[in-house]
Amino acid sequence: MARRSLAAVGLLPWAAAIGSACTTDFGDLFLGAGGGAAASATTTSSATGGAAVCGDAKLSAGEQCEDGASAAGDGCAANCHFEGGAYDTCPTGVVLRLASKIQIADSTQNHASGVGMNCGQGVAATVVYQIVPKTSGDVTVSADLGAGSGYVEVRSSCSTSGDSFACKSAQPTFTFTHGVNAGEPFYVVLRGKNGSKIDFKLTLAY
């Protein structure tokens, strides 16, 4: 049986989550592709002026996900875009295997509004990620919605039928530490407030 939530919501600046070496403008990270359209594995990094390297554990402009690995098969492809299909419905098409740390720059733009949440009111585009931890331990989920406002939920199932470990308003940040068992998935759901779309940075790390 999985250990449940261990800590409550707090604040965590997005810059610390990305790392002091990255000076990319916050807005430049958001793709707004609405489903993870394919992109080149090598993109221009505004932080260095050179080429961004997928798999270097530094989330750069043009990367949708960064997990510090360059191999496919873990949900974040070799070009640092999501593997899988649509992730605004259940079951979700994005399954991310968490080995150490995953960073995501994404948007709810162009996504559907069919996935429910256990907090907040109104209907808005929603995205849901399945996270499969490699090892047991404490995973910190942190989100920064930039100039936006919305809701973030960590729960045991894609739908609202399971346990909700945390479901809070993010204005604009959310942080929650969740106890996990190896191989036992959990889900992270994000949605804008009052029908609005949100551009966000999401980090999951042991």
**Cα 83 off chain centre by:** 14
Cis peptide before 185 (omega within 30 of 0): no
Q: Is 21 exposed, middle or buried (0-12, 13-18, 19+ CB in 10 A)?
A: exposed
Q: Which domains does the chain have, with CATH numbers?
A: 14-205 (2.60.120.380)
pLDDT value for 96 = 98
pLDDT value for 123 = 87
**Residue 92 CB partners (closer than 8 Å, separation 6+):** 84, 86, 128, 129, 130, 158, 187
Amino acid at residue number 36:
G
- How confident is the model over 3-36, as pLDDT tens digits? 444 444 443 443 344 344 433 344 444 444 444 4
pLDDT value for 50 = 61
Which portions of the chain are predicted below pLDDT 50? 1-48
